[in-house]
């Protein structure tokens, strides 16, 4: 069995640094490593702020960026699943954000 370039340290890191750093994680997560890392970032932001509006807005931005990236590449099997996850996250984040805006306005004191 031949080792991968990231196992031997012979990858062209300067040509594609992000892609090279994601290679070991892509072999484990099957191409969904960015989704896993983004979910960790959103989870940490939620734990630190407890603000659904902030988390919803960041989730929508990340999902939109991911879905835009999917539109520029040839879809593979794992990308189709990631696309469904991205659309689901986008819709959930949009719903949470709208709910937060409505609830904040309803229970705000009169000005």
Domain range summary for the chain, segments of one domain joined by + = 1-28, 31-106
pLDDT tops 60 at residue 70: no
Looking from the CA of 12 toward its CB, the CA atoms found within 13 Å total 2
Residue 66: pLDDT band with limits 50, 70, 90: low
The per-residue pLDDT for 110 is: 81
Q: Tokens representing 13?
A: 């890191």
Tokens of 8: 């031997």
What confidence tens digit (pLDDT) does each residue in 41-54 have?
A: 889 998 999 887 78
> How much of the chain, in percent, has pLDDT values that exceed 70?
85
Cα atoms in the 13 Å half-sphere on the side-chain side of 85 = 16
């Amino acid at each position: 069995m031949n080792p991968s370039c990231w196992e031997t340290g012979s990858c062209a890191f300067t040509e594609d640094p992000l892609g090279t750093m994601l290679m070991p994680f892509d072999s484990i997560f099957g191409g969904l490593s960015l989704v896993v890392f983004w979910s960790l970032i959103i989870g940490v932001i939620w734990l630190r702020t407890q603000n659904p509006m902030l988390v919803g807005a960041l989730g929508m931005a990340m999902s939109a960026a991911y879905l835009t990236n999917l539109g520029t590449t040839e879809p593979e099997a794992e990308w189709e699943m990631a696309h469904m996850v991205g659309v689901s996250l986008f819709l959930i984040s949009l719903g949470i954000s709208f709910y937060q805006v409505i609830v904040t306005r309803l229970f705000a004191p009169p000005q």
